[in-house]
Amino acid sequence: MKRKQLFSLVLLFAALSTAWSHATESETVEIQCKIKPIARSKIHPNGKKANLQPSSTSSSAQTTSTNWSGYVAGTDLTGTLGNGSVDYVAGSWVVPTLLATADDAHCAIWVGIDGYNSPTMEQIGTSHNWISGAQQNFAWFEMFPMGSFEISGFPVNHGDVISARVGYKQNGVFKLIIFNHTQNVSTTVPMANTTSTTALRSCAEWVVESSFPGTTFPLSDFQTVTFNYCSAVINGVSGLINDGAWMNDEITLVDSTGKIQAQPTVLLKNGSCFQVAWKSEN
């Protein structure tokens, strides 16, 4: 497949921004938000997965995980040949309206780099927790193994259209941005908080996650989450999840017994879209 070589990330971001069918980035107002540390149990500790199945010769595979459901893309999902290859990941979703669960429950929706076959992660997204009979929403980011931070003051309401992106600049510095297209606002995480000298940049992800503070918490009943406008830049190639220049893996969330908790669909819209369906609390 012919590769779409890009000469600069500036040109790349400009090209990808034209893909949004909702409010464009230029129409959003940049707002200043505070960041504050949050308990890791409200997000996750590491994204470790179970029952990894992809082969080095396959362009797509299926995996189960005890805390992730979604898709991952990378040039080498079984080894280290993809290290240093990922420069950008982006995606969009709608803030779900949770249904009541018997227990307090948690979920996070995010896009990010790393974490599938590496000990580092650079990610940004939203969390939607069912606590004491009510839904709680907030935006957050994490540069694992450093801690998680809430993006305080950024609006996250039921039905809002959210998009986010993680881009690598240089010298270990990443740019993390989140947009609320319904409210026409965006915010950029201060770059003093987005530097990692250990980030491997080995893969890109689009994930719904169950909190995992040692033992997985019950999963919020988000019904269905639809990821749209999913794209990445890997080895200088700008493409969708199933681009022929790299591998992709479909990840199903299961509990410790193998019972399915959340399951993605096949890729839709030529590889730019998929859905994750909630199946069970625990």
Rounded distance between C-alpha atoms, residue 263 and residue 249, angstroms: 13
Give the confidence band of 24 by pLDDT, cuts at 50, 70, 90: low
Residue 192 has pLDDT above 50, yes or no: yes
Give the confidence band of 59 by pLDDT, cuts at 50, 70, 90: low
Mean pLDDT on 81-85 = 95
Residue 44 has pLDDT above 80, yes or no: no
Give the confidence band of 217 by pLDDT, cuts at 50, 70, 90: confident
Rounded distance between C-alpha atoms, residue 241 and residue 62, angstroms: 14
Rounded distance between C-alpha atoms, residue 47 and residue 189, angstroms: 21
Give the confidence band of 117 by pLDDT, cuts at 50, 70, 90: confident
Distance of CA 233 to the CA centre of its chain: 15
* Cβ atoms of 77 and 117 closer than 8 Å: yes
pLDDT of residue 26: 65
Domain segments of the chain as ranges: 9-50+67-238+258-278
Strands 29-30 and 185-188: parallel
With a pLDDT cut of 90, the percent of the chain lying above it is 72
54-69 residues labelled b (16+ CB within 10 A) or e (exposed): beeeeebbebbbbbbb
pLDDT of residue 75: 95
Mean pLDDT on 208-230 = 85
Rounded distance between C-alpha atoms, residue 209 and residue 79, angstroms: 23
Instruction: Give yes or no for a cis peptide into 145 (omega within 30° of 0).
Output: yes
- 9-50+67-238+258-278 in CATH: which number? 2.60.120.700
- Give 265: exposed, middle or buried? Use CB within 10 Å, 0-12, 13-18, 19+: middle
* Cβ atoms of 96 and 128 closer than 8 Å: yes
13-19 contacts, C-beta under 8 A, 24 or more apart: 13/88, 13/167, 15/238, 16/88, 16/90, 16/231, 16/238, 19/229, 19/231, 19/272
